[in-house]
Amino acid sequence: MTINGTVLIIDDNEDVLLSLRLLLKPHVEQIITESNPNKIPELLQQKSVDVILLDMNFKQDAISGQEGLFFLDQILSIDPDAVVIFITAYGNTEKAVNAIKSGATDFILKPWQNEKLLATVFAGIRLRQSRNEILLQRSRVRQIADTVDTPFKEIISHSKAMQKVCETVQKVAPTDASILILGENGTGKEVVGRAIHRASLRNQEVFIPVDLGAIPETLFESELFGYEKGAFTDAKQAKEGRFEVANRGTLFLDEIGNLPLPMQAKLLTAIERREVIRLGSNSPKKIDIRLICATNANIFEMRNQGLFRQDLLYRINTVEIRIPPLRERPEDIYPLAQHYFDIFNRKYRKGLKKISQAAMLKLENYSWPGNIRELQHAVERAVILSEGTNLEPDDFVLEIQHTQTSDDFIFDTYNLDEIEKRVIKSVIEKTKGNISLASKMLGLTRASLYRRIEKHGL
């Protein structure tokens, strides 16, 4: 029987170290031996260890076991979950009880019985691995608890378009249906994918995002399906692919449109058979995942052009969710800008009070070709470089060529009075009747604006 794990043996008797190494070598993945117990801290910092076999007495003729208990305390102070098994030639019930009370896992007498020692080491390795799994699960639960108190709290939105997205998420999340999320770059496709996972029955398992646009074409297969040791030149050891890592959880494949046709066929096979085969292996590994895909490409046009398999599109598109660009939901600009303002104001300790009305109006009139990601970067930059108490329009540097909006005027008259009337009316509507803000936008004093309002009967 063999087991994956690392065993550290600490004993001042070189013969004991050699004997234990020879006994364990055929059964344990890695064995580390050390005769100087003072090197324990250094060894534990350098290597993750599953089981420590620790001698209780290091001085000649010592039989009390106090040295062993001292080093046990040292080990547990570094790694409270360490599995320590004492070995000693001077054993009695009282000493064994003291060792267990002090935090040791077990106690072995010299000369040992090989079968019993192996069984004890194997049990210790399994215990360590169980403790690691429990710690991982607790960490996941804490992270999940922070995010699921409010439904879809990570989706910041006031718009009806995004409310519809949230309604769809709520309906599909409890199922295992494959989801295809469509939207431009920066619209928040991964945020929606994570919201689906957190509201799903798999929310205590992992969410594994994979950006297919960032993986070289030659590495698609090894990244998704994994590989065995020796599968190619640099494969020094076996590695799980993203499908295996996501097992029992959710796999999020971003930019699925980047997947080349040969890999599309392999992905389809993996989805249909619910199994993957690592590079360099002929043995399939069963997988149980919830698949969510996303793309900014026109995947239906790609299908029509023969660039994306129709059968794969059916498999990944049980439910389709389209994320509208930010320019189609201007109601979301304010809450998003405020959200990022609060984050970066705290992060950079700027002590800013707010985003001014004029600055917010500038943000709301911008077309945001980079969507939410561009807005986030714009707010962060403004917070960092701001020298005032509030963020003002000049703090936001936006690309001029992107500022054209659907509200730009196309005049059917050259009458200046009529043009002035339309412009003033539009600005007053935009500022919701805020004369101070409207006059600032128009470059007028409040008194001048009031005179023009009266003149045009507005």
Mean pLDDT value of segment 4-32: 91
Query: Given this model, what pLDDT does residue 407 score?
Result: 52
- Average pLDDT of the segment spanning 130-144: 70
Q: Is 176 left (phi over 0), alpha (psi -120 to 50) or beta?
A: alpha
Angle 435-442/446-456 helices, nearest 10 degrees?
90
Q: Please write the tens of the pLDDT for every residue from 290-314.
A: 999 999 999 999 999 999 999 999 9
The pTM score is 0.58
Q: Please name the residue that has the structure tokens 């076991």.
A: 65
- Sorted by where each starts, the structural domains of the chain and their CATH numbers stand as 3-131 (3.40.50.2300), 151-324 (3.40.50.300), 327-402 (1.10.8.60), 416-456 (1.10.10)
- Inter-residue contact 408 to 419 (CB < 8 Å): no
- Look at residue 412 in the predicted model and tell me its pLDDT: 57
Backbone dihedral region for residue 106 (phi beyond 0: left; psi -120 to 50: alpha; all else: beta): beta
Averaged pLDDT, 394-411: 62
pLDDT interval class at 403 (50, 70, 90): very low
Judged against a pLDDT cut of 90, whether residue 252 lies above it is answered with yes
- Is the predicted pLDDT of residue 427 greater than 80, yes or no? yes
Q: Which residues pair with 277 in a beta bridge?
A: 284
Record the tokens describing residue 338, joined without a space: 């405020």
Which band of pLDDT confidence, cut at 50, 70 and 90, is reported for residue 384?
A: very high
pLDDT tens per residue across span 188-212 = 999 999 999 999 999 989 999 999 9
**Secondary structure (DSSP) of 33-67:** EES-GGGHHHHHHH---SEEEEES--STT--S-HH
pLDDT for residue 404 is more than 50? no
Helix-helix angle 371-385:333-347, to 10 degrees: 40
3-state percent helix, strand, coil for the chain, nearest multiple of 5? 50, 15, 35
Q: Tokens in use for 295?
A: 């793309």
